Chains A and B, each alone.
Chain A
Amino acid sequence: MNKTVNQKAWFFVIPVFVLVAFNAIIPLMTVVNYAFQETFGNNVFMWEGTRWFKQIMLSERFHASLGRQFLFTFIILFIQIPLGIAIALTMPKEGIGVPVCLVLMSMPLLIPWNVVGAMWNIFALPDIGFLGHSLNALGFDYNFTQQIGDAWFTTILMDVWHWTSLVVLLSYAGLRSIQPAYYQAAEIDGASRWAIFTKIELPKMKKVLTIAILLRFMDSFMIYTEPFVLTGGGPGNATAFLSIDLVKMALGQFDLGPAAAMSLIYFFIVLLVCWVFYTLMMRNEEKS
C-alpha cells in the first residue's frame, strides 16, 4: 500500500506545543537560565555554573525552611487523612442528609486562598478576633503574631479547616463505591466494626486515599498564600515555609540566581517525593 504524505496534521498539534511552551517550558527555562548565571539587570548575565546550587544546598536558611516545610506537611497529613476518613465514615449514606453534607463539606474548598488567610487572620486576632479573644478570655495566653507555637497552631488549624474536606469527599466517594453485599457478608461472618473497617473499607479505599495523600502532600508542600496572609511567615521566620522563603529571596532581596536554584531544588524535591510515594503504592498494588 502506498503511504500518502500529508503534513497538514501538524496544524492541529502546533497550538498545543505553543501553549505548553508559553505556560510551562519557557518560564521553566527562564528559571534554569537564572539558576546558572548572575545578573545585575539590563540583561547583563555572567556564567556562574553550579555556584548557586552549592550555596543553597549548604545554606542553613534553606535547611531551616525545608525542615519547617516537612514538619508542617507531616503534621497536616497526620491530622487530615485520619480525620477525613473518620468524617466520611459518619456521613449519611442516603436521604436529604447526603446533599446537605456534601455541600457543607465543599464550602471551605470553594473559598479563594487569600480570603481563607484573611478570614483566619481576623478570626484569630487576639484582641478582636473571635477565636483569639475567646482563647484569651478562657485564660490562654494566645497571640499568633508573637508566639511561635500559637502561629503554628493557627496555621495548622486553618489548613485543616480548609483542606480536610477534600479528604472527606474523596474517602466518601471511595466508601460509597463499596457494594452493600460486602457489609452483609461481613455481618453474616460476625465481623466486628473494626474488622469491617480494616478488612473491607480501608483496602477498598486504598486508591482514592493514595490520590488524597498525594494531592494533600503536593498542595501543602507548596503552600504559600494562606500563611502569607495569616502570619506573613512570622513571627520571625517561624512559619516561613519553602515558598514564602523563596519569594522573600527572589522579590524581597532580589537574589535571582540563588532563588532560581532554590526553586529548581524545591521542584525536584516535590517530584522525587511524589515519585517515590507513587511507586511504593503501585508496587504494593501489583503484589496484592
Chain B
Amino acid sequence: MSLELKNVEKKIGLDTHIYPTNLKLEKNTINILLGSTLAGKTTLMQIMAGLDKPTSGEIWFNNENVTGMKVQKRNVSMVYQQFINYPNFTVYDNIASPLKITGVSSDETKQRVGKVAELLKLSGMLNKKPNELSGGQQQRTALARALVKDSDLILLDEPLANLDFKLREELREELPKLFENRDCIVVYATTEPSEALLLGGNTATLQEGKIIQYGKTLDTYNKPNSLVSAQVFSDPPMNIAKIKKSGDQCSFLQNDIQWKTKLNIKDGEYKVGIRPHNITTYKEGNNTLEIKGKVLISEISGSESLIHFTNGNLSWVSLSNGVFQKNVGDEMNLYMNTDEFVYFDQNERLVSNG
C-alpha cells in the first residue's frame, strides 16, 4: 500500500497554491506535514483525499491512478481542526455513520463502535449529542468516526489546534497509540514542530506551497537540507548568523567570538543556525561558548524560560530549562553549544552539522 503524488500542482487563478510536488507515502506510516498557516498543508491533504483536483499531475494509490476519482469511492477519512460531527446525532450514531452508509450489519457496527469508543474513552457518553460534550470529547468523536471505518488513508488537519492546552497534551500523547497496528497511511498536518517530534514517523517540511524536505522525522530535524527547512522545523525560530571559517577557526562576522571546528569544509563565509535550546543561561554539558547579551524580552513558558537578547546586530532567542526572571536591559552571559551548530552555505543549503 502506498500513496504517491507525481508532479502534483495546484493553481487557483494565477496563484500557485502547490508547486509541482513529488511525494511517496508508504503503508503503516505516520506522515507529518509541517508548515505555517498557508504553507499548503490543507490543499495538499484535500488533493490526497480526492476532495480537490490537482491542476496537473497524478495521484497513485496502490499502483492505481486515482487522480480525479471521487472521494466517496476512495476509502478515506479525515479529521478537521474544527470539531465536525452531525449536530443532531448521538455520539454513537455519529461514530456509526460511515458504517451505516457502507451497509455494515448492525451487530458488527455495534461491536466496532464499541471498540473505537473505548479506545477514545467515549464509552460513557455514547447517548449524548455533540453539543453536550466538551471540545476534547467532540474531537474524540470526530477521531472515532475516522478510525471506525478502517480507511486506507486517514488525514488529520491540525486536529488539536482548537483544543486548550491540557486537552491538547492529553490527546497528543494518545495519538501515536491510536494509529499503531493499523493497515493504513496516516497524514497529519500541524504547525507545531514539537507535535511532529512527538508523533515520530516521517515529516515533510512545507513552505509557500513547496515541500522543502521529506524524510524520517528525526533526520529532518537533525539534518535540515536547507535553512528554510530548519526554520520551519524550529520553534521558537532558529537563530542565524554569518560566520567566517579559516582553518579550524570559526568566528561570527558581527562580533569577535571564536570557536574551533572539526568540520571538513572549505574556508570561507557560511551561515550558521543555532536552535534556541542550544543557547542557555548557564553553562551545561557542551554549552560552553560564551556570548554576552542584553535582555530584550524575557518570558516564561511552562517550566522553560525564553530570553530574547541582542548582541551587537544579532537579535537571538535562548531557551533554558527552569524559570528565570530577567529584567529588560539586563546584561548577561549566555552559553552556546558549538557541536549543535548547523552550517549552511551562501545559498542556504546544508553543508554539515555538528
Point out residues on A near B: beta carbons under 8 Å: 179, 181-182, 184-185, 187-191, 199-200, 203-204, 288
B196 within 8 A of A: no
Asked if residues A189 and B88 are in contact (CB atoms below 8 Å), the reply is no
CB neighbours (8 Å) of A203 from chain B are: 86-88
Q: Is the CB of A182 within 8 A of B88?
A: no
Complex CA gap A182/B80 in Å reads 9
* Residue from A179, A182, A185, A191 in contact with B101 in the complex, judged by beta carbons closer than 8 Å: A191
A59 to B276, CA, bound (A): 87
Q: In the complex, how many angstroms separate the beta carbon of A231 from the nearest chain B beta carbon? A: 43
In contact, B84 and A185 (Cβ under 8 angstroms)? yes
Q: Which residue on A lies nearest to B77, using beta carbons?
A: A188
Contact at B87–A189, with CB atoms within 8 Å? Answer: no
Instruction: Show 11 residue pairs from A and B whose CB-CB distance is below 8 angstroms, ordered by the A residue.
Output: A181-B81, A181-B84, A184-B46, A185-B84, A187-B72, A188-B51, A189-B97, A189-B98, A190-B72, A200-B86, A288-B87
Please, which residues of chain A bring their CB within 8 A of the CB of B87?
A: 200, 203-204, 288
User: In the complex, how many angstroms separate the beta carbon of A104 from the nearest chain B beta carbon?
Assistant: 27
User: B101 touching A189 by the CB < 8 A rule?
Assistant: yes
- Complex CA distance for A190 and B104, rounded to whole angstroms: 14
Identify which of B77, B84, B102 contacts A182 (C-beta below 8 A).
Answer: B84
Q: Once the chains bind, are B88 and A184 in contact (CB under 8 Å)?
A: no
CA distance A190 to B77 in the complex (A): 11
Q: B89 in the interface, Cβ–Cβ < 8 Å?
A: yes
Which residues in B have their C-beta under 8 angstroms from that of A184? 46, 51, 78, 80
Q: Does B76 contact A (CB under 8 A)?
A: yes
How many A-B residue pairs lie within 8 Å, measured between CB atoms?
46
- Contact indicator per residue, chain B 77-108, by CB within 8 Å of chain A (1) or not (0): 11011101011110000000110011000000
**How near does chain A come to B349, taking the closest CB pair, in angstroms?**
38
Using a CB–CB distance below 8 Å, which chain B residues touch chain A?
46, 49, 51, 71-72, 76-78, 80-82, 84, 86-89, 97-98, 101-102, 129, 131
| Closest A residue to B89 using CB positions | A199
User: What are the residues of chain B within 8 A of A188 when measuring CB–CB?
Assistant: 49, 51, 71-72, 76-78, 98
Bound Cα distance A188, B101 (Å): 11
Q: Which residues of B contact A200 (CB under 8 A)?
A: 86-87
**Contact partners of B51 in chain A: CB under 8 A:** 184, 187-188
Complex contact A179–B84 (CB within 8 A): yes
Complex Cα spacing A184 to B129, Å: 21
A190 CA to B70 CA in the complex, in Å? 10
Cα(A188)–Cα(B146), bound, Å: 10
Given contacts A185-B78, A188-B78, contact A199 B72 (CB under 8 A): no
CA distance A288 to B93 in the complex (A): 14
Across the interface, B71 reaches (CB within 8 A) one of A179, A182, A187, namely A187
Could you say which residues of chain B place their CB within 8 Å of the CB of A182? 84
Bound state CA distance, A189 and B72, in angstroms? 7
Chain A residues in 8 Å Cβ range of B129:
288
Instruction: Give the distance in Å from the alpha carbon of A204 to the alpha carbon of B80 in the complex.
Output: 18
Q: Which of B71, B77, B86, B102 is close to A199, meaning CB atoms less than 8 Å apart?
A: B86
Given contacts A187-B72, A188-B76, A189-B101, contact A288 B131 (CB under 8 A): yes
In angstroms, Cα B104 to Cα A99, docked, is 45
CB distance from A42 to the nearest CB of B (A): 63
Q: Which 3 A-B pairs have the closest CB atoms?
A: A190-B72, A181-B80, A203-B87
Which of B76, B88, B131 has the most A CB atoms < 10 Å from its CB? Answer: B88
Chain A minimum-CB-distance residue to B72: A190
A191 to B88, CA, bound (A): 15
- Complex CA distance for A184 and B101, rounded to whole angstroms: 15
CA distance A199 to B94 in the complex (A): 11
B3 to chain A, nearest CB (A): 16
Distance between B185 CB and nearest chain A CB, rounded to angstroms: 15
Whether B82 contacts A179 by the Cβ 8 Å rule is yes
Question: Chain B residue with minimal CB distance to A199?
Answer: B86
Which residue of A is nearest B70, CB measured? A187
With beta carbons under 8 angstroms apart, the residue of B72, B80, B89 that contacts A185 is B80
Q: In whole angstroms, what is the CA distance A41 to B98 when docked?
A: 75
Separation of A189 and B131 alpha carbons in the complex (Å): 21
